[in-house]
Structure 1
Amino acid sequence: MNPSPAIRKIFQGVASRQQMFRMFDRHAQRPNRWEGDASPLYAGEWFEMGEAEHDYMFEILPPLWIRGSMFAMREFLTGSVTSVFFALRFDGVIRHFHGYCDLSDRETVERMRVAIIERESRPVRPMTREERLEHIWSITADDYRGYAGDRWDEAARGKRTIMLYGGAAGSTLKLLNDLTDDEIAAKLPVQLRQLPSPIAA
């Protein structure tokens, strides 16, 4: 089931507390939620949060471990995947991040840390198509996103869907990965539509 377990940024900007909690389980609507291993859905996802949100999560429970400017949550989300929080310095400013790491892989936390640093270091790189799709999924309300069910072709079943507004034609569901560039732009917040993209570069 999608998305890929590769390390990936799922939200552009600094998440509010409400957005943070929504993204902690942004795959809650997946089919057969209580069956199978959901680790590939979550492992590798990361986003930025504020200092207050970072400190709030630190104080909820005693961490599983603390390593320098990183700590891991004691409660696991699924399998061996848990939340790891990072405080990283960029241009003299400390920024805070959350990532889901599969602790069965001893190198996963360091790979996540390096990936965040590479992605957020200057010069600022444009959002990729994949990052735009993940941001759209993260900000879309549950009523307007879901997963392809039995009415879809067998090859599409289980893949993520998004509601599109077609004006007089009414609303339609479309696979997230099949959105056109124009549909992606329409779904993004106005301030992100102006960011440089690989398409426009």
Structure 2
Amino acid sequence: MTLSPIRKVFQGVADRHQMFRMFDRHAQRPNRWEGDDSALYRGEWFEISEPSRDYMLEILPPLWLKAEMFAMREFLTSSITSIFFTLSIDGRIRHFHGYCDLADKGSCERMRAAIIECESRPVRAMTREERLEHIWSSTADDYRGYAGERWPKADRGKRTVLLYGGKEGTFLKLLHQLTDAEISAKLPVHLRYLPDTIAA
């Protein structure tokens, strides 16, 4: 499972419980401690509240602190760590968490620019990828997972979600293969009818 480019993984402002849950959205992945999983996390971002941002600042002294951002001292994997942003967007101060690769010079500034660009869209919209990432982020661990041995070899390790099929009962489906109707059914009502936007 390879992800990487900068991507929004949750719509709305995550509360503290959701924030901690999303810090490791990929905890259930198979072979978790084998190999470098940096690409799973690098580029993920979501909005948080000011109290959550302040709480994270007070946990440990930051690795570094700049005007609009600070880095966590503890690394998630290799050179990937949490960066917390405080940004003025359309005249409002907002707070965000993102995973940046500190070995990649300029990664924090690129993420900052991507967040501002995304959140400054004139019309609230979502890409198909943002819809899928929100579904993954908001689905309980018991209802999401990874394709295992019973799946075709090419699909093993890909993300799955549990769907309700009416008379047929529940069944697992690969996240990236959800139809538009299935995506709509899995999204909260206030996100179902947002227009599509072109991925940056």
TM (norm. structure 1) is 0.96
2:152 maps to what in 1? 153
1:23 maps to what in 2? 22
3-state SS of the aligned residue for 1:119?
Answer: helix
C-alpha contact 1:119 1:125 (8 A) present in aligned 2 = no
Deviations 1:127-153 (A, max 9, x none): 000000000000000000000011100
1:162 aligns with 2:161: yes
1:39 maps to what in 2? 38
- In structure 1, give the amino acid aligned to 2:174: L
1:54 maps to what in 2? 53
TM-superposed CA distance for 1:122, in Å, is 3.7
CA distance in 2: counterparts of 1:24 and 1:198, whole angstroms: 26
1:139 aligns with 2:138: yes
Structure 2 spans left out of the alignment, 5+ residues: none
1:94 aligns with 2:93: yes
Deviations 1:87-118 (A, max 9, x none): 00012210000000011101110100000010
1:7 maps to what in 2? 6
Q: Percent identity?
A: 73
- From the superposition, tell whether residues 198 and 84 of structure 1 become closer, same or farther in structure 2 (CA, over 3 Å): closer
C-alpha contact 1:10 1:138 (8 A) present in aligned 2 = yes
RMSD: 1.1
C-alpha contact 2:135 2:187 (8 A) present in aligned 1 = yes
TM-superposed CA distance for 1:198, in Å, is 4.5
TM-superposed CA distance for 1:194, in Å, is 2.5
Structure 1 spans left out of the alignment, 5+ residues: none
2:179 maps to what in 1? 180
Instruction: Tell me the number of residue pairs that the alignment of Structure 1 and Structure 2 aligns.
Output: 198
3-state SS of the aligned residue for 1:63?
Answer: coil
3-state SS of the aligned residue for 1:84?
Answer: strand
TM-superposed CA distance for 1:68, in Å, is 1.1
CA distance in 1: counterparts of 2:9 and 2:177, whole angstroms: 18
CA distance in 2: counterparts of 1:119 and 1:158, whole angstroms: 30
